[in-house]
């Protein structure tokens, strides 16, 4: 059975699920040219048959009648279908004069989460952005994982040099603020994360979960420890303190590859377990026991995600997590946290490099530093609302729903309304895209090729798996890369009639030239032949072939005949297992010193802010945290009936003591308010929460005028970001605070 687009009607295909970070293999059966069943691919080298309800619904997404297939243009509040040519002509007519008159920065871009989940966006967005040349770039990273990029940038010299938990070989896993049983894992690509956690326990390992809520993951843990929202930085500093205090520092092989050990010791000195216990809500003796057990384990991992990133000290918490991994000798060793080496990247062969920098330019209105070549999303509205040179007058959103995903959503909604022009590359008419003047829908998930550029770089094994499109793309649909390149051509002044192949050729020529310039490149001096060899593909497939062939396992365009290329990879329909992760320090380090910078100045400087927070008197307030459900994907899978069914999930969870104190009973309606806004929601009383903490999911609130997602609109959910506060953020990364938001809860009658 091949995995290429089939002309026959009845067949089975094997492809990777693009919906979350886990990259599960799917087995899809087609009858009469239509996908009828989606199962887990038992032969998939990575997921081995596992799938979750979202993966099982992929065909529903593909055939969803509300999913847009053709471009639509808005006139007033009405959208009408137009041809692709008309849509691009419209953009040319409306957008180019804005760019010409006000400069490229007047066009803002918001890139949403699924941009990391498609081959086309991963490989073709950069060229489109280069063509636009705007500094007004925003992405969902600053309501998510930006703190991790910053801490890794500063410590290892690369924002994408992220060490992932080697969960299959560890004996001790300490999880802070992640709930992989619902999320399937993040910055840790591991299909069947739940199964891998159970296997860890079965082989005698220990799983500890630290979270303000006794989550699904906490419930299968060996030990669950409840923490105050935002308290992780104090806990982590104190654990490090204990390691020094009790002579438990044992970096092992890493000892000769680290800078800043003494500075870390003096930095953590004041953070004794006794000093922090009130601020993190964990007793001093428990903190000591956590540190001692971590140091004693033969192999161990400290791993944290959303719950430690979307808080006031998110960057510092991510930093201290890796400091703990280094000090216990667990960074870059099997069973600890390790750096993947995916097929589409070359192996770095020499320690050291240019390092990582941020703040190279500042935002116009608030003077906020650029981080990772983007500005924090919390300042997007400032840039749209504030007149002056460089004001954002037009916006392009690609696979994003900022009206639901960003804090102070009501302000975002209002700001988008005032734009002179807005384009959305998206296949739903949703809370955000209803503001667009043109929506350009990419083809569905079964008519496009796939390879996880982002997530194989974060996978707990080195894996490569390519999926061709299962079905031929209908002639009147466009793939995302084609849309992006067409926009790129428009931005470069080529005109709406110019063929996509013009941009495609320009992009591959640049990519080949760049690849040839890299140290140890297998193709230097050989670029003409390479370009000829790449001719069999176009778009992202061609980029991927180049990356794989010049990558760590590649054929080097003939230099290493047994090596990998896309053609070969295609024959591994169940994926290619390139083996367990291997140590890569020091070569992988890109810091100017060639060492791990344990104590970067920016982060040491942040200790002042942390110390003053430690000294602040406690307020008696309820703190709001978030939760994810296995059958959601942020805001956007809510139109799939099989994912939406069941008891209502959009409830405010509250501890019985707090409920009693407020006078609320299970099922009653409550009004939740913050400095930003108010929402009304049913209450769910549960002992799973820590007293003083309430919990509400994000991603809801589709029932807005103009949305065309019939299933989602009927669901009685409300947008949590009506009450989160865009002015609260971690200044180091610009990341928004979405967990630990102070709120008041009252019965609705009051
Ligand atoms: N089913 C499903 N899967 C998803 C998604 C989805 O929407 N639905 N979204 C995907 C995306 S975009 C992402 S980024 C990942 C996120 O992946 P995860 O981070 O694993 O997911 P969350 O459920 O947000 O887990 C965060 C946890 O942090 C806890 N928490 C809150 N505040 C604190 C705190 O101050 N300290 C500590 N220690 N814990 C805290 C919360 O209770 C929660 O259990 O999930 C991805 N997978
Ligand atoms: N309060 C609170 N807010 C949060 C979070 C939280 O935990 N709490 N989580 C945050 C996190 S981690 C994230 S990642 C963000 C997510 O926020 P966003 O990334 O802004 O939006 P999503 O809700 O993921 O919606 C994705 C959009 O992409 C479209 N889409 C899906 N697939 C494709 C595709 O292949 N191509 C194109 N062109 N479009 C596609 C969908 O129709 C939808 O409009 O939300 C953040 N917001
Ligand atoms: S866990 Fe993620 S990748 Fe696997 S089937 Fe579910 S949504 Fe798809
Ligand atoms: Mo995310």
Per-residue pLDDT reduced to its tens digit, 599-610 = 999 999 999 999
Residues near ligand 1 (Cβ within 6 A) = 20, 113, 144, 176-180, 182-184, 186, 210-213, 215, 227, 229-230, 232, 305-308, 311, 625-630, 632-634, 699, 739-740
So what's the pLDDT on residue 468?
97
Cβ(52) – ligand 3 distance below 6 Å: yes
How far is it, in rounded angstroms, from Cα 606 to Cα 241? 17
How far is it, in rounded angstroms, from Cα 191 to Cα 575? 13
**Ligand 3 site-directed mutation target among 18, 20, 636, most atoms within 8 Å of CB:** 20
- pLDDT bin (cut points 50, 70, 90) of residue 1 is very low
Closest ligand to the CA of 185: 1
How far is it, in rounded angstroms, from Cα 453 to Cα 116? 8
pLDDT of 67 strictly over 80: yes
pTM of the model: 0.98
Which atom of ligand 1 is nearest the CA belonging to 634?
Answer: 7
Cβ(309) – ligand 2 distance below 6 Å: no
How far is it, in rounded angstroms, from Cα 140 to Cα 122? 14
Contact 339, 588 (CB under 8 A): yes
Cβ(674) – ligand 2 distance below 6 Å: no
Number of neighbouring beta carbons within 10 Å of residue 485 = 28
Cβ(267) – ligand 3 distance below 6 Å: no
pLDDT in tens, 424-476: 999 999 999 999 999 999 999 999 999 999 999 999 999 999 999 999 999 99
Cβ(25) – ligand 3 distance below 6 Å: no
> What sign does the CA torsion over 430, 433, 439, 443 have?
negative
Whole-number Å distance, alpha carbon 640 to ligand 1 midpoint, is: 22
Which atom of ligand 1 is nearest the CA belonging to 629?
Answer: 1
pLDDT in tens, 136-187: 999 999 999 999 999 999 999 999 999 999 999 999 999 999 999 999 999 9
pLDDT in tens, 619-650: 889 999 999 999 999 999 999 999 999 999 99
Q: What is the DSSP string of 59-71?
A: HHHHH-TTS--S-
- Average pLDDT of the chain to the nearest whole number: 97
So what's the pLDDT on residue 618?
83
Task: Give every strand in the sheet of 206-210, ordered side by side.
Answer: 223-225, 206-210, 172-176, 301-304
Contact 339, 581 (CB under 8 A): yes
**Ligand 3 site-directed mutation target among 54, 455, 640, most atoms within 8 Å of CB:** 54
How far is it, in rounded angstroms, from Cα 429 to Cα 421? 16
**Ligand 1 site-directed mutation target among 185, 306, 695, 730, most atoms within 8 Å of CB:** 306
- pLDDT bin (cut points 50, 70, 90) of residue 520 is confident
Cα dihedral 153→158→163→164 (10° resolution): 100
Whole-number Å distance, alpha carbon 353 to ligand 2 midpoint, is: 34
Cβ(110) – ligand 2 distance below 6 Å: no
So what's the pLDDT on residue 7?
63
Cβ(399) – ligand 2 distance below 6 Å: yes
Which atom of ligand 1 is nearest the CA belonging to 630?
Answer: 1
Closest ligand to the CA of 696: 2
pLDDT in tens, 369-428: 999 999 999 999 999 999 999 999 999 999 999 999 999 999 999 999 999 999 999 999
Q: 619: exposed, middle or buried (C-beta count within 10 Å: 0-12, 13-18, 19+)?
A: exposed
- pLDDT bin (cut points 50, 70, 90) of residue 215 is very high
Whole-number Å distance, alpha carbon 22 to ligand 4 midpoint, is: 13
Task: Give every strand in the sheet of 34-40, ordered side by side.
Answer: 11-16, 25-31, 34-40
Whole-number Å distance, alpha carbon 113 to ligand 4 midpoint, is: 6
List residues, by chain if needed, whose CB lies under 5 Å from ion ligand 4.
144
pLDDT in tens, 346-355: 999 999 999 9
Cβ(58) – ligand 3 distance below 6 Å: no
Cβ(698) – ligand 2 distance below 6 Å: yes
Contact 653, 684 (CB under 8 A): yes
Cβ(71) – ligand 3 distance below 6 Å: no
**Ligand 2 site-directed mutation target among 58, 140, 624, most atoms within 8 Å of CB:** 140
Which atom of ligand 3 is nearest the CA belonging to 23?
Answer: 3
Cβ(56) – ligand 3 distance below 6 Å: no
Range 119-133 average pLDDT: 98
| Sole residue written with tokens 């899978």 | 637
- pLDDT bin (cut points 50, 70, 90) of residue 2 is very low
So what's the pLDDT on residue 750?
56
pLDDT of 4 strictly over 70: no
Residue 584: DSSP 8-state: -
pLDDT in tens, 651-668: 999 999 999 999 999 999
Contact 282, 235 (CB under 8 A): yes
| Sole residue written with tokens 């010409």 | 100
| Sole residue written with tokens 């997602």 | 709
pLDDT in tens, 29-61: 999 999 999 999 999 999 999 999 999 999 999
Closest ligand to the CA of 236: 1
Which atom of ligand 2 is nearest the CA belonging to 424?
Answer: 38
So what's the pLDDT on residue 8?
78
Contact 695, 653 (CB under 8 A): yes
Residue with CA at minimum distance from ligand 2 atom 47 = 405
So what's the pLDDT on residue 620?
87
How far is it, in rounded angstroms, from Cα 37 to Cα 26? 10
Tokens of residue 98, six digits: 């804005």
Residue 138: partners with Cβ closer than 8 Å, 6 or more residues away:
108, 109, 110, 111, 374, 375, 376, 377, 380
- Which residue, 149, 96, 212, 24, is CA-closest to 494? 96
Closest ligand to the CA of 17: 3
Residue with CA at minimum distance from ligand 3 atom 8 = 55
Q: 338: exposed, middle or buried (C-beta count within 10 Å: 0-12, 13-18, 19+)?
A: buried
Residue 64: partners with Cβ closer than 8 Å, 6 or more residues away:
639, 640
Residue with CA at minimum distance from ligand 3 atom 4 = 24
Cβ(481) – ligand 2 distance below 6 Å: no
pLDDT of 3 strictly over 50: no
- pLDDT bin (cut points 50, 70, 90) of residue 519 is confident
Which atom of ligand 3 is nearest the CA belonging to 51?
Answer: 5
Contact 91, 510 (CB under 8 A): no
């Amino acid at each position: 059975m091949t995995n290429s687009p089939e002309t026959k009607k009845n067949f089975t295909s094997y492809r990777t699920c693009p919906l979350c970070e886990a990259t599960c293999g799917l087995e899809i059966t087609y009858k009469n040219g239509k996908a009828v069943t989606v199962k887990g691919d038992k032969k998939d080298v990575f997921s081995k048959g596992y799938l979750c309800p979202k993966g099982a619904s992929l065909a529903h997404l593909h055939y969803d009648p509300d999913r847009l297939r053709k471009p639509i243009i808005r006139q007033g509040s009405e959208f009408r279908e137009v041809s692709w040519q008309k849509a691009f002509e419209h953009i040319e007519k409306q957008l180019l004069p804005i760019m010409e008159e006000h400069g490229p920065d007047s066009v803002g871009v918001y890139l949403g989460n699924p941009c990391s989940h498609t081959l086309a966006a991963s490989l073709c967005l950069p060229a489109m952005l280069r063509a636009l040349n705007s500094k007004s770039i925003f992405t969902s990273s600053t309501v998510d994982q930006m703190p991790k990029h910053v801490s890794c940038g500063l410590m290892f010299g690369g924002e994408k040099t992220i060490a992932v938990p080697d969960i299959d070989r560890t004996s001790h896993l300490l999880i802070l603020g992640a709930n992989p049983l619902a999320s399937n894992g993040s910055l840790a690509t591991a299909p069947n994360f739940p199964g891998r956690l159970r296997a860890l326990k079965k082989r005698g390992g220990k799983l500890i979960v630290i979270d303000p809520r006794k989550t699904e993951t906490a419930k299968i843990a060996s030990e669950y420890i409840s923490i105050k929202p935002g308290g992780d930085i104090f806990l982590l500093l104190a654990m490090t303190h204990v390691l020094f205090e009790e002579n438990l520092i044992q970096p092992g092989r890493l000892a000769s590859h680290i800078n800043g050990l003494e500075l870390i010791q003096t930095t953590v000195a004041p953070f004794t377990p006794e000093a922090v216990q009130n601020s993190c809500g964990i007793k001093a003796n428990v903190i000591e026991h956590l540190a001692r057990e971590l140091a004693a384990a033969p192999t161990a991992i400290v791993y944290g995600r959303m719950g430690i990133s979307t808080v006031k000290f998110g960057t510092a918490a991510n930093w201290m997590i890796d400091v703990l991994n280094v000090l216990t000798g667990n960074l870059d060793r099997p069973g600890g946290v390790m750096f993947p080496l995916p097929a589409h990247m070359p192996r770095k062969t020499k320690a050291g490099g240019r390092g990582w920098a941020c703040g190279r330019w500042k935002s116009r209105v608030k003077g906020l530093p650029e981080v990772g070549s983007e500005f924090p999303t919390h300042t997007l509205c400032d840039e749209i609302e504030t007149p002056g040179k460089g004001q954002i007058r037009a916006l392009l959103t690609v696979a994003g729903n900022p009206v639901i995903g960003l804090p102070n959503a009501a302000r975002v909604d209002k700001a988008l309304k005032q734009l002179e022009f807005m384009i959305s590359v998206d296949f739903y008419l949703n809370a955000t895209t209803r503001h667009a003047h043109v929506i350009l829908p990419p083809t569905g998930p079964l008519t496009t090729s796939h390879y996880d550029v982002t997530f194989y770089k974060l996978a707990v094994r080195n894996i490569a798996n390519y999926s061709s499109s299962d079905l031929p793309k209908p002639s009147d649909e466009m793939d995302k890369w084609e849309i992006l390149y067409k926009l790129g051509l428009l931005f470069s002044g080529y005109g709406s009639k110019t063929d996509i192949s013009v941009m495609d050729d320009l992009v591959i020529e640049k990519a080949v030239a760049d690849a040839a310039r890299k140290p140890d490149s297998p193709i230097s001096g050989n670029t003409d032949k390479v370009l000829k060899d790449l001719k069999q593909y176009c778009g992202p497939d061609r980029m991927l072939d180049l990356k794989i062939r010049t990558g760590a396992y590649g054929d080097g365009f003939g230099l290493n005949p047994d090596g990998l290329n896309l053609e070969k990879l295609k024959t591994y329909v169940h994926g290619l297992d390139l083996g367990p992760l291997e140590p890569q320090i020091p070569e992988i380090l890109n810091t100017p010193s060639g060492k791990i910078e344990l104590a970067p100045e920016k982060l040491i400087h942040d200790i002042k802010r942390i110390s003053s927070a430690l000294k602040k008197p406690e307020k008696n307030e309820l703190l709001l945290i978030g939760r994810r459900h296995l059958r959601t994907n942020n805001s956007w899978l809510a139109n799939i009936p099989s994912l939406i069914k069941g008891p209502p999930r959009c409830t405010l969870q509250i501890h019985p003591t707090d409920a009693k104190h407020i006078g609320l009973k299970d099922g009653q309606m409550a009004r939740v308010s913050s400095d930003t806004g108010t929402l009304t929601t049913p209450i769910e009383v549960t002992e799973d929460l820590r007293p003083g903490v309430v919990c509400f999911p994000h991603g809801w609130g589709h029932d807005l005028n103009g949305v065309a997602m019939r299933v989602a609109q009927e669901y009685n959910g409300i947008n949590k970001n009506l009450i989160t506060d865009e002015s609260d953020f971690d200044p180091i990364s610009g990341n928004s605070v979405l967990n630990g938001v102070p709120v008041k809860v009252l019965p609705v009658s009051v």
